[in-house]
Structure 1
Amino acid sequence: MRRILKSSISVLLALALVLTANVTAITSNATNVVADVKSIADVPADLSGKTVILHTNDVHGAVGRYPYIASVKENFQKRGAEVLLVDAGDYIQGTPYVNMSKGADAITVMNAAGYDFATIGNHEFDYGLDQLKADIKIAKFKTICANVLDENGNSIFVPNAMYTTKSGMKLGFFGVVTPETQTKSNPVYVKGLTFLSKDALYACGEAQVNELKAQGADLVICLTHLGVDLEAAREGNSSDIFYEKTKGIDVVIDGHSHTVMSAANTVDPVTSTGTKLQTLGVVMIDNASKSVEDSYLLNYDKLQPEVVTNAVATDIIKKIDNEYNVAFAKSEVDLNGNKAPGNRTEETNMGNLVSDAILWTILKNEGSVSVDSSHVIALTNGGGLRAPISAGNVSKKDVNAVLPFGNTVTVVYVTGEQLLEALEASTFCTPEPVGGFPQTSGIKFTINTTRAFAAGPIYPGSTYHKPSSINRVTIESINGQPFSKTDTYAVVTNNFISVGGDTYYCFSSSGTSFDTGIPVDEALIDYIKTELHGVIGSSYASPRGDITIIK
């Protein structure tokens, strides 16, 4: 069974203290904290006759930690083990250290660390399929994913691979990625692709197991980027449900929900390391019995970075720091970068700042929109705000960490009725977190969570439901004026939302939109420098009260 402890954040905080200054601080994104994280001192001195699978997931650009992963691999090899290193997705996006090269630098440092296999995460699509394929070409490890199909129904990636150990044991690997990629990545970048889900996903998994078993696999390991959060479970696409529905998998190495959990090889062998290399996963296999002997998580206590990987990572970090670490502004307040409670559950001062910035970006030039300024609002998805900004100096690096996706400022024209639908759909589970939670400017509205969300049909190409009626959301005003269902409003947003990302399918069908081409992070920098005169002041000390939530 999975061994999870709900409330031991101190374990992770202690872990943060042993990492170098180049390492991104541990975030609050981990779903759970495991109780039994081991150190290298707990590992047996003699690992002869063992094959070890070291695994990572949701690294999100924490390149400063890869040298420690390589150090563990080297350490286990010196103890006599044969070691494989694998990843369960979301490695090419998340910090400027990988964003600026559109993922290529992530591949470079993973090559140095000695990865063998990786599957695709939803964020691997953030720079487009062509860029992803270009990144894969420079990878020395094999990229495997079985459930992404092209328009002809063919897999666009190599679905599986076999690894034969020195002892002759055959380990079969295959990968799957969350169907939420349809709405968790820019729909333009996944247009024409099918992400198998639910029954089709389970059938795909069984087909991979059968194929690998037919090739003589002694054990089958699935690299899943599915997660175990409520959103995935509701749709039947979580990794634990996938394991239960797919017979013949021996170990599931998971990502996506940023969960920290270890696995025993008895009931539910699903394991995940959190995010940004909080921990390192270890699956210990006995060569003689060809069975999983143990599965646990490892911290980095008393480890030195591996020299070659450290040199590669340090070069990348210095290159970006030289450009991005220079302060361009100051903040007098702490800006909320939390996931939940935070940007995915309620109005935040960070949401106010970013939505104000993109609204200003459009309205500063007269004639940018075809409606009166009283009918222009801004809306950004809370799931797109990925880091805090602390009081003090503010650098481009800080802004890029908040807005790492490279999205551009876009305007969508919608009716008041469509705006209501979008708000109802994007708050369907509030106060539970959802990435589409709207952070806004220019609109006041109320979410009554005591009322049930009336789920209609699933939006095309999505995992979210169209509301069959508007039960929970009431719009009080638009820029201080009465709201009208029949009026046309200009919604300033990002190009992820404008084409139907997250819960916003109705925006993609609105008929009229345009993309400014201005990156959202650059718009925020310009707003802070120009409109705020380089100071994020007390007006952003707390949320301004645009959203009322009735519980």
Structure 2
Amino acid sequence: MTRTSAPDARLPLRLLATSDVHVHLLNYDYYADRPADDMGLSLTATLIAEARQESRNSLLFDNGDFLQGNPLGDYIVHSGAMRAGHVHPAIRAMNRLGYDAATLGNHEFNYGLDQLLDSLQGAEFPIVSANVLRRLGATPAQDETLLPPHVLLERELRDDAGQIHRLKIAVIGFAPPQILQWDRMLLQGRIETRGILETAEALVPQLRAAGADLVVALSHSGIGAMDRDSWAENATTALATVPGIDAIIAGHSHRVFPAPTFEEIEGVDPMAGTIFGKPVVMPGFNGSHLGVIDLDLRQDAQGRWQVAAAKAAARAVQGAGIQPSAAVERAVCLEHDATVAFARRTVGETMIPLHSYFALVNPAAALRVVAEAQVRHVRKQLQGRPEAALPLLSAASPFKAGGRGGPRNFVDIPAGPMALRHVADLYIFPNTIAALRLTGAELADWLENSMGIYRQIQPGLADQPLIDPEFPSYNHDRILGLTFDIDLASPARYDRFGVLRDPAAQRVHNLRHNGQPLDPAAEFILATNSYRAAGCGGYTAARPERIVDVGRAPIRDILLGFVRDTAPVALWQGGSFGFLPMPGTSVQFETGRDALPYLDEIAHFTPEPLCPTDDGFLSFRLHL
């Protein structure tokens, strides 16, 4: 709708976006207890202000995962602030910045549905989600959604000639439908989900019919290969094919787009920032980037607004030479100060350093302390029950092992006093304890799935990349109580999504329990977490009928109790796994910048330094 029109009027509209902020509201690393220059909404806010000044018309969106992800988010939950009726500091900061709309990500559900709904109170902007449902209808149009599925924003925008036009901009939001699996123990029976593509194809035409001049999709979903499966996790590529969508904000996978790393995906132009011709931006994570999409709008002969041209970019906070926003700092200062004080409380002591710099190639005490804590808790829960007679094992994953989190995404706890922030660093997710009754054969297959993180290595070649960067380290399990060797020359049995691709492939050899070959028919209890017990990561043995009830205590609380009760922590650091020798063969392994003091832990690989990577990782040649 236009109040006044001018011939050949050009109307510029800038879309600004954040995604996966994960409660990093300030440029502060609570785990390391120090300021950071590469993250934080307080820094992104300065970029937002600059971007707004550059354009006469702009809208600001958030693409989800803003309520969970660091000790500040955990403090808000455990302090009971939401029950007291306070506005969540993330919402307060977003109110200050004048967000126009937002959607939910998968991590919004990690604390449960009630906590989520309480946390959204006080938002001065609409929060939309089209495929998270209270009731699943026969069609998307008949679904009863948890939140409004979309919103029609009416904004007065000024064209280049100074004329004012009133436009209707529809904003629709999508979350990964897999939240029902990832947080099954919290959400089962309370909500339903529908596939992103199916929902969009049904609802976007309705938005156009309702008079929308533009449709913006907030897609908390990654950019992957074209997949029209309505239940695809990374559905943004397929979403771009839906007629009627003009621009997409992507996220979830903690990546940056436009970027050349996406150049091999069908329909993706990684330099222009388009997917099947539509502008798309993915603004990193933790407030690392601001997404910017510039639309050049023009009216056709019928007076309808069309996107004549578009350009997308992701602006990084690091290296921008900017100061944090005082408005955001004021909005969250009380909770920030309380979180810092809480996280600094001493809770125990460790006699050895706990780090994850080499956790993907060497047994790591940082993983073992988690696994030991889980064993202690589950053993207590099983006392007096038949399951107590079964051998007890424990699975743990290196959550912080570099990857997309960057060269500082590692655990690094020095020997000495342990604070609450160290416990949080060892276990960054709000998972709860779980246990499964599994056979030896299922455990062997479990480890085969986990070994998919390694690339297949060709004997006799030098400097082959060892780690598949697309395999999430949180899906790479180690099992306390089992020893084994890894054959890197063998292909992986499972791909990075946990999908069986080569049933005959075998990387795990010499699998033993208590020094004896693992009996495929023997039964065990495996201590694990709620995420894995729901089958996440493709671990198909984790079925509901295999779950053994051991309560739902948060693993971080279990770990805290273990650290307090066993101080000083002094764990055996002997090997639980190793790589089968491959003479004349070497691999390239990347780790964090502060790994050098611990290099002796991998002396058996005869490590040789290589040139650091462009994104700041140290790189080593390891001899197999």
Return the TM-score normalized by structure 2.
0.68
CA contact (8 A) 1:222 1:253 kept: yes
1:423 and 2:447 matched? yes
1:137-156 alignment runs, 5 A limit: 137-153=121-137, 154=143, 155-156=145-146
How many angstroms apart in 2 are the aligned matches of 1:215 and 1:368?
63
State the AA in 2 paired with 1:280: L
1:246 aligns with 242
**SS state of the match for residue 100, structure 1?**
helix
Instruction: Work out which of the residue numbers 543, 546, 549 in structure 1 matches 2:577.
Output: 546
Instruction: Give 1:518 shift.
Output: 3.5
Query: Which deviates further from its counterpart, 133-142 or 85-94?
Result: 133-142
Q: 1:293 to 1:189 in 2, by over 3 A?
A: same
**Is the partner of 1:222 in helix, strand or coil?**
strand
Secondary structure at 1:115's aligned position in 2?
A: coil
Map of 2:560 onto structure 1: 525
Q: Which residue of 2 aligns with 1:22?
A: none
* Residue equivalent to 2:314: 297
Distance 1:236 1:522, change over 3 A: closer
8 Å CA contact retained: 2:279, 2:311: no
| More helix as a share of residues | 1
**How big is each residue's C-alpha offset from its partner over 1:134-183, in whole Å with a ceiling of 9 and x where there is no partner?**
22333222222222344533233322222222121222211212234344
- Give the aligned partner of residue 602 of structure 2: none
Residues 203 and 246, structure 1, Cα contact 8 Å, conserved in 2: no
CA 1:137–1:490 in structure 2 vs 1: closer, same or farther (change >3 Å)? same
Q: Shift of residue 272 of structure 1?
A: 1.0
Asked if the contact 2:494–2:502 (Cα under 8 Å) also holds between the matched residues in 1, the reply is yes
**Highest relative contact order (Cα 8 Å, sep 6+), 1 or 2?**
1
> 1:321-380 deviations in whole A, cap 9, x for unaligned?
111123444556664457xx856x986443233212322344478937645677111013
Match of 2:149 among 138, 151, 159: 159
Residue of structure 2 equivalent to 1:413: 437
For the 8 Å contact 1:179–1:196, the answer to whether it is kept is yes
Q: Which amino acid aligns with 1:159?
A: P
Q: Which amino acid aligns with 1:119?
A: T
1:178 to 154, 176, 179: 176
Q: How does 1:390-469 map to 2 (within 5 A)?
A: 390-391=413-414, 394-428=418-452, 430-431=454-455, 432=468, 433-434=471-472, 435-448=474-487, 450-451=489-490, 465=499, 469=503
Contact 1:226 1:232 in 2 (8 A): no
Residue aligning to 2:539: 504
Aligned equivalent of 2:69: 94
Q: Does 1:356 align with 2:362?
A: no
Question: For 2:255 and 2:286, how far apart are their aligned partners in 1?
Answer: 11
1:44-63 to 2 correspondence within 5 Å?
Answer: 50-63=12-25
Q: SS at 2:526's partner residue?
A: strand
Residues 474/244 of structure 1: CA separation in 2 closer, same or farther (3 Å cut):
farther
Which whole-Å CA distance do the structure 1 matches of 2:293 and 2:516 have between them? 60
What is the CA-CA distance between 1:83 and the residue it aligns to?
3.1
The corresponding residue for 2:520 is: 485
Paired letter, 2:272: A
Tell me the equivalent position of 1:216. 211
- How far apart in 2 are the matches of 1:136 and 1:101? 13
Displacement of 1:475: 6.4
C-alpha distance in structure 1 between counterparts of 2:380 and 2:60, whole Å: 51
Letter in 2 for 1:534: P
Size of the aligned set, in residue pairs, is 488
Equivalent residue, structure 1, for 2:411: 388
SS where residue 517 of structure 2 aligns?
Answer: coil
Shift of 1:87: 1.3
RMSD of aligned alpha carbons: 3.7
Deviation for aligned residue 1:464: 5.2
Kept in 2: contact 1:355–1:379 (CA 8 A): yes
For residue 276 of structure 1, give the secondary structure of its aligned residue in structure 2.
coil
Moved more, 69-78 or 491-500: 69-78
Q: Cα distance, 1:547 vs. partner?
A: 5.5
Q: What fraction of aligned residue pairs are identical, expressed as a percent?
A: 22
Contact in 1 for aligned 2:128/2:172 (Cα 8 Å): yes
SS in 2 for 1:209: helix
Shift of 1:116: 2.1
CA distance in 2, matches of 1:452, 1:366: 38
Gap regions ≥5 residues in structure 1: 1-47, 457-462
The equivalent residue for 2:255 is: 259
- Residue 106 of structure 1 and its aligned partner are, at CA, apart by 2.5
Name the amino acid aligned to 1:171.
I
Residue 269 of structure 1 aligns to a residue in which SS?
strand
Question: C-alpha distance in 2, partners of 1:229/1:447?
Answer: 29
Residue deviations 1:38-58 (CA, integer Å, cap 9, x gap): xxxxxxxxxx96432221111
The offset of 1:314, in angstroms, is: 1.9
- Residues 113 and 370 (structure 1 numbering): CA distance in 2 closer, same or farther, change over 3 Å? farther
Cα 1:94–1:171 change in 2 (3 A) is: same
Measured in 1, the distance between the counterparts of 2:227 and 2:105 equals 14
Quote how far apart the aligned CAs of 1:421 are: 4.0
Q: Is the 8 A contact 1:67 1:313 kept in 2?
A: no
Give the Cα–Cα distance (whole angstroms) in 1 for the partners of residues 362 and 100 of structure 2: 41
Relative to 1, partners in 2 of residues 1:246 and 1:448: Cα closer, same or farther, differing over 3 Å? farther
Offset at residue 447 of structure 1 (A)? 4.8
**Conserved? CA contact 1:66–1:110, under 8 Å:** no
Matched, 1:196 2:175: no
Inter-CA distance 87–410: structure 2 relative to 1 (3 Å threshold): same
- Counterpart for residue 284 of structure 2: 274
1:136–1:547 distance in 2 versus 1, CA, 3 Å: farther
Q: What's the offset of the Cα at 1:225?
A: 1.3
Deviates more, 1:255-264 or 1:296-305: 296-305
**Cα distance in 2, alignment partners of residues 231 and 505 from structure 1:** 25
The answer as to whether partners of 2:182 and 2:534 remain within 8 angstroms in 1 is no
Evaluate the alpha carbon distance shift between residue 230 and residue 125 of structure 1 in structure 2; reply closer, same or farther with a 3 A threshold. Answer: farther
What secondary structure is seen at the aligned counterpart in 1 of 2:418?
Answer: strand
Distance 1:312 1:329 in 2: 33
What is the deviation of 1:446?
4.3
Alignment partner, residue 460 of structure 2: none
Q: Report what 1:26 is aligned to.
A: none
| Distance in 2 of aligned mates of 1:130 and 1:72 | 33
- 2:224 and 2:419 map into 1 onto residues whose CA distance is 33
Provide closer, same or farther for how the CA distance between residues 363 and 195 of structure 1 changes in structure 2, counting only shifts above 3 A: same
Give 3-state SS (helix, strand or coil) of 1:298's partner: strand
Moved more, 231-240 or 512-521: 231-240
What one-letter code is carried by the residue in structure 2 that aligns with 1:184?
W
Q: Distance in 1 between matches of 2:242 and 2:113?
A: 28
